[in-house]
Copies of this chain bind each other. A is one copy, B any other.
């Protein structure tokens, strides 16, 4: 292990430069304009895997962007670790809020600023480089497979098909994912829960054309006013969601679990200060950590309609639109919730408007038991490199794939992320600390060591 860590030390600067090259590729999967760049990012990962010593490296084509596959089989009897990650990134808008261009990475105060630096290129690349180091120093104790996809930010639909069609290829003992955060650089943690997601787009149509708000205002349903009313009606005075049946399948945490959760280090004042808000805001009866992890939500992610240019235009518009997503918890079904939302949203539309609802994508919530070998291996690895036992936490984000892997392959995923919640993923000025990047590369070989030891005990 010393040789491996020395190799990592000696190659730090090159690892970083390779990552910066990857970050320069604007692989925005949501926007068709960037389709060529998304593919370029896949090729970059594949080439880098090849140079790092992986075998069978190839782009597995799907109906969308390809999955990068690669492997190193050292011994058919050794345990196999399947590394999952994604090379696609979120759109970068609003561009004007970036302090440096999103795809021209800069390093300031030991922090890398770029779209994808944390989510997820930086974290995927930790695995590629840890693999290179283990292999180069003859210290890879397990078989390793890589499956790096390009559609995580748009729902991983084609990955699910790829997994279902390649069960043999993807056989493994654990899936290792770094796409989450630790509590702080001095408080390591492992995500043992993820929220699910149901994401929809709605359109409310009033009149068949934009109207003069003086001539028609007051007499014709204004689709923006109506959309606002419909959205507002979806939370009650306790900030609970009003869709009938929405909470039916929600797994309520018991008093013991909630008490354990309340022990997670959390500084409300620092949280509010970091966000520039006077107060948090959420469901009555739950703490901030609970609201952001074990409780489902309904957020408008985008809204538009009418005149949004400079100055004033007295229009009563024909159309109003919103993108709305719900974070789900065990045991809510994404498909069921999408249907409940659609039915409810249509049912509350007044007679003067027409409503359409289009599902974008969804995914299921996930819970990782802490008594597995995989969790124990991750816990020991983090304890070694951080000098402190990691805290099991439940994250609020959604990575649909663990549920897919469990269903299709029967394999559990361990979520050993190295980002921070404050890394502004999905926001302007996304960043990733050099500390976190290097700590990840340092920790991963320890995971392999412990996973091998615990598996063969």
- A interface residues with partner B (beta carbon < 8 Å): 29-32, 90-91, 93-94, 97, 153-155, 181, 195, 197, 199, 201, 206-222, 224-225, 227-229, 231-233, 235, 275-283, 288-289, 291-292, 295-317, 320-323, 325, 327, 350-353, 360-361, 395-398, 421, 424-429
User: Given that A210-B94, A314-B197 are contacting pairs, would A279 and B217 also be in contact in the complex, using a CB cutoff of 8 Å?
Assistant: no
B325 in contact with A219 (CB, 8 Å):
no
- Verify A299–B209 contact, CB threshold 8 A: no
B307 touches A396 (CB 8 A): no
Evaluate contact between B303 and A306: CB separation under 8 angstroms. yes
Nearest CB on B from A206, distance (A) = 7
Q: How would you classify the secondary structure of chain A's contact residues: helix, strand, loop or mixed? A: loop
Please determine whether A302 and B315 come into contact, CB atoms closer than 8 angstroms.
yes
Min CB gap A102→B, angstroms: 13
Q: How far is the CB of A312 from chain B (nearest CB, A)?
A: 4
Query: Nearest B residue to A239 by beta-carbon distance?
Result: B218
Are B306 and A351 within 8 A (Cβ)? no
Contacts of A31 in B (CB 8 A): 309-311
B300 touches A325 (CB 8 A): no
**Cross-chain contact B317 with A301 (CB below 8 angstroms):** yes
Chain B positions within 8 Å of A307 at CB level: 91, 93, 301-302, 323
Q: Are A32 and B310 in contact (CB under 8 A)?
A: yes
In the assembled complex, which residues on chain B have CB atoms less than 8 Å from the CB atom of A327?
Answer: 213-214, 217-218
Cα–Cα distance between A429 and B181 once the two chains are bound (Å): 52
- Find out whether the CB atom of B221 lies under 8 angstroms from the CB atom of A281: yes
Which of B155, B224, B279, B396 touches A300 (beta carbons < 8 Å)? Answer: B224
Determine the chain B residues whose CB is within 8 A of the CB of A90 once the complex forms. 313-314
Would you list 17 pairs from A and B whose C-beta atoms are within 8 A, ordered by A residue? A93-B309, A197-B214, A213-B297, A214-B398, A216-B396, A217-B325, A224-B300, A225-B299, A228-B300, A301-B307, A301-B313, A301-B314, A301-B315, A302-B306, A303-B308, A307-B323, A312-B361
